[in-house]
Amino acid sequence: AQKVTQAQTEISVVEKEDVTLDCVYETRDTTYYLFWYKQPPSGELVFLIRRNSFDEQNEISGRYSWNFQKSTSSFNFTITASQVVDSAVYFCALSEASSGDSNYQLIWGAGTKLIIKP
C-alpha cells in the first residue's frame, strides 16, 4: 500500500543553520510523483517542488535543495542557511499513476514542524 513517512515531528534550529527534512515513501507503482508543500501558520499549503519517479537528479532552488534516491525510497529536503521565515510545517506527498479509485489524490506524510530561532 502507498504510504509517506516523515519521521521528524518537529525540528528546531538556530537561524543560518542548515536543516534537512526527511521523507520516505512506499509505493508499488513504477510511475509516481513526489511533492513537497510548505504550510505556514496562515494555513495555506504552498507548492514547493514536484519530482517524477524517472528523474533522480537532485534539484536546487535558491536555498532549497532536494535529494531523491529511489534505492532508499527517500525524497529529502534541505534548507541551507535557514531563516526565520522558513518556519512552517512541511509536508511530503505522493501521487501514483495507477489508483484503484481512478482519482489522483495525494498521499500525505504527517508533516514536520520546522522552527527557526533568531
**Closest CB to another protein among 18 and 31?**
31
Site residues (CB under 8 A) for another protein, limited to 65-94: 91
Subset of 93-112 contacting another protein (CB under 8 A)? 95-97, 99, 101-106, 108-111
**Is residue 37 near another protein by the rule CB under 8 A?**
yes
From start to end of 1-118, where are the E strands?
3-5, 10-14, 19-21, 24-26, 32-39, 46-52, 59-61, 64-69, 74-79, 88-96, 107-108, 112-117
Options 17-25, 27-35, 60-68, 73-81: segment touching another protein (CB under 8 A): 27-35
Question: Binding residues for another protein, how many (CB under 8 A)?
Answer: 28
Q: How far apart are CA 14 and CA 2, in angstroms?
A: 34
Sign of CA pseudo-dihedral 6, 17, 53, 73? negative
Of 15 and 110, CB closest to another protein: 110
CA distance 71 to 114: 26
Query: By the criterion CB under 8 A, which residues form the site for another protein?
Result: 31-33, 35, 37, 42-47, 50, 52, 91, 95-97, 99, 101-106, 108-111
